Amino acid sequence: MSDRFSPSRPARPRWSYARAQQRLAPYLFTSPFFILFLVFSLFPLGFSLFLAFHLWNPLDGLGNWRFVGWENFALALGARDQFWVALKNTVWIGLLSGVPQHLVALPLAFVIHQFLRRWQTGVSTVLFLPYITNAVAITIVFGMLYSENLGLLNYLLAQLGLGPVRWLAVPELVPYSVGAVVFWRYVGWNVILYLSGLQAISEDVYEAATVDGASAWQKFWFITLPLLRPMMFYAFTLTIVGNMQLFEEPFIMVGQGGGSGGAGLTSAMHIFNTAFRDLDMGYASAMSWLLFLAIFALSMVNNYLFSRDGGREP
């Protein structure tokens, strides 16, 4: 007798619609995420990497590209292109806006958490408003403030007997003018991040420090800062990633070319101009990957500095 007819062999369950529905339901419910991730994340990444090694004008149509190897990367890293100038502008504006953000946001969050708890919700809402306000509106308002003839800043300077300042026309002042807008927009966001980190610190620690006679400064320096290190790492990482991709504020304030002397030209603007003005998608893709490597390197440096041993031990 064949084994198929052996009474000890368990009977194969019959197919049923209910059982198939039960097995397939998890895949069907999660499939939209994977489909969207594949279409809008993985495919653009792969296509961008493919284009980085090709010369392609989108007006020529799909398939009409020419393999050029590392030529696009060599061109970006060479001295003839503006990639290094744009990267230098990006880092400089990022430092001018990012460092003051945290120097202001961290003590301000500590003061709100310690002394303004009754009004914490209202104060947090006011500080968070610039972050959720449209970037175009913010930039237009600051553009009016910076106006040479009608701006509020030059009006105040005139009351002090000082001459008008061309905030967006002098190349040396453009990074400061753009950095001020970025600082104003994101300082509230960092305050909210630090407030959430402060709320996670047990009150028992502060009460014990108060019993020991610690001052507000000693609580901030010896309790708040060490325990906030994970949140500081997170906030610094977001600032690095965001500032290295700076686009909206300088693009609207100083124009597509970066304004006078190209002082406001950031890496993201240069990539945008190369892709959609010059229609050189391959070169723009190569610069995008170089910018990604720069962001990755800075993030690793940030991770090293905020590691538990502070990078002092091997």
Report the pLDDT value the prediction gives residue 314, as an integer from 0 to 100.
40
Report the pLDDT value the prediction gives residue 43, as an integer from 0 to 100.
93
Q: Tokens at residue 222, please?
A: 């010896």
Handedness of CA 203, 209, 212, 215 (dihedral sign): negative
Report the pLDDT value the prediction gives residue 311, as an integer from 0 to 100.
47
Do residues 174 and 254 make contact, with C-beta atoms less than 8 angstroms apart?
Answer: yes
Report how far apart, in Å, the C-alpha atoms of 122 and of each of 83, 106, 312 are: 43, 18, 41
pTM assigned to the model: 0.82
Q: How many CB atoms lie within 10 A of CB 173?
A: 16
Report the pLDDT value the prediction gives residue 189, as an integer from 0 to 100.
93
pLDDT in tens, 269-297: 999 999 999 999 999 999 999 999 999 99
Find tokens 């998608």 and name the residue.
281
In the predicted model, residues of the chain with pLDDT beneath 50 are 1-2, 5, 311-314
Report the pLDDT value the prediction gives residue 45, as an integer from 0 to 100.
92
